Amino acid sequence: MSPAATVSSPRTLAGALDALVGATEATLILAGGTDLMVEFQTGRTRPGHVVDVWRVDELRGIRAEPAGLRIGALTTCTELRASALAQEHADILVIAADEVGAEQIQARATIGGNLGTASPAADLTPVLFALEAEVRLVSKAGARSLPVTEFLTGYRKTARRPEELIESILVPTRAPGERRGFRKVGTRRAQSISKVVVAVAVTALDGVIRTLRASAGSVAERTILLPSLERELAGKAPDAAALDRAARRAATADCAPIDDVRSTARYRREVLRRILRTLLAELLLDET
């Protein structure tokens, strides 16, 4: 951390919001620190002021509300994995949380931090896109909610104003009969950053797709939806060939992967195509 940085460690939400009054781009909110401490250590990020919210218990907890599942921003991957409510309402979020880093990381890595990084490789974010989640932001000036798709605005960029913090995430109540899938491909089976990550939520009646929402990470500068896939399949009763076509189109038209230290753009497109094809066949054709 920069030697000149100051730190506040509020114990209440009101205290955290007070500490954020007058915040600038150099004011950083510290949650589990699994991303931010690396940033500080490498000098990539130099904070002026750090607001450490880890002890603000009002930001914790998972509860059912009439509109859906409310997940406090400080909820960790470990807590998501252990939550029967999360399993019932958002099973793919639990699966994704289980794939974040190792157990030590999961004990500190929060859902708010996963969104806050706005990393294209974040594993929980595609799930939140597929589940049409909303982010609730609070500041001394009030609260606002926005779709998670609008919260992420670019590479490591969000719509959060400096005085705001992520208070919670709402996963709306899911349609009866919705089927969901999640896949992550990294260098190894476990403990690796995603090369491609995909989440899908689909409902079908008599084989006809009623709703479809698919999202992918690590294939563009931020987590994305896959509109070509949705357009290609919505309202159809797809067979294997149609799923092939839709997956191919999405991997061509919807993403903009790059070559980097973890992978090549070509590999990412191919893996995205295959994952989509496999997931959709599992969910819609009962292929395993």
Ligand X SMILES: Cc1cc2nc3c(=O)[nH]c(=O)nc-3n(C[C@H](O)[C@H](O)[C@H](O)COP(=O)(O)OP(=O)(O)OC[C@H]3O[C@@H](n4cnc5c(N)ncnc54)[C@H](O)[C@@H]3O)c2cc1C
Using rule CB under 6 A, residue 114 touches ligand X: yes
Using rule CB under 6 A, residue 95 touches ligand X: no
Using rule CB under 6 A, residue 105 touches ligand X: yes
Among 166, 199, 209, 224, binds ligand X (CB under 6 A): 166
Please give the full DSSP string across 154-183, using - where no structure is assigned. Answer: ETTEES--TT-EEEEEEEEPPPTT-EEEEE
Q: How far apart are CA 85 and CA 43, in angstroms?
A: 39
Stretch that binds ligand X, among 26-34, 237-245, 250-258, 275-283 (CB under 6 A): 26-34
Using rule CB under 6 A, residue 200 touches ligand X: no
Stretch that binds ligand X, among 30-38, 169-177, 204-212, 277-285 (CB under 6 A): 30-38
Among 10, 19, 32, 79, binds ligand X (CB under 6 A): 32
Using rule CB under 6 A, residue 50 touches ligand X: no
Q: How far apart are CA 43 and CA 104, in angstroms?
A: 23
Using rule CB under 6 A, residue 272 touches ligand X: no
Q: How far apart are CA 119 and CA 250, in angstroms?
A: 21
Beta bridge partners of 101: none
Classified as helix, coil or strand, 193 is coil
Using rule CB under 6 A, residue 27 touches ligand X: no
Considering beta carbons, is residue 90 or 246 the nearer one to ligand X? 90
Using rule CB under 6 A, residue 128 touches ligand X: no
Using rule CB under 6 A, residue 31 touches ligand X: yes
Among 109, 169, 196, 279, binds ligand X (CB under 6 A): 109
Using rule CB under 6 A, residue 100 touches ligand X: yes
Q: In whole angstroms, how close is the CB of 130 to ligand X at the nearest point?
A: 15
Q: Are strands 142-147 and 62-65 parallel, antiparallel or unpaired?
A: unpaired
Helix 265-284 vs helix 240-249: crossing angle, to nearest 10: 150
Question: How would you classify residue 8: left for phi > 0, otherwise alpha for psi between -120 and 50, otherwise beta?
Answer: beta
Q: In whole angstroms, how close is the CB of 77 to ligand X at the nearest point?
A: 7
Using rule CB under 6 A, residue 94 touches ligand X: no
Our measurement of the distance from residue 275's CA atom to the centroid of its chain's CA atoms, rounded to an integer in Å, reads 18
Helices and strands (DSSP H and E) totals, the chain: 12, 14
Q: In whole angstroms, how close is the CB of 116 to ligand X at the nearest point?
A: 2
Beta bridge partners of 220: none
Considering beta carbons, is residue 128 or 202 the nearer one to ligand X? 128
Stretch that binds ligand X, among 101-109, 223-231, 236-244, 264-272 (CB under 6 A): 101-109
Phi, psi of 121 (to 5 degrees): -95, 5
- Counting residues that bind ligand X (by CB under 6 A) gives 29
Q: Are strands 49-52 and 6-8 parallel, antiparallel or unpaired?
A: parallel
Classified as helix, coil or strand, 112 is helix
Using rule CB under 6 A, residue 251 touches ligand X: no
Using rule CB under 6 A, residue 110 touches ligand X: yes
Considering beta carbons, is residue 44 or 288 the nearer one to ligand X? 44
Q: How far apart are CA 236 and CA 253, in angstroms?
A: 20
What are the helix (H) ranges across 83-145? 84-89, 91-98, 103-106, 111-117, 124-130
Query: Applying CB under 6 A, which residues contact ligand X?
Result: 28-36, 38, 53, 73, 100-101, 105, 108-110, 112-114, 116-117, 122-123, 160, 165-166, 193
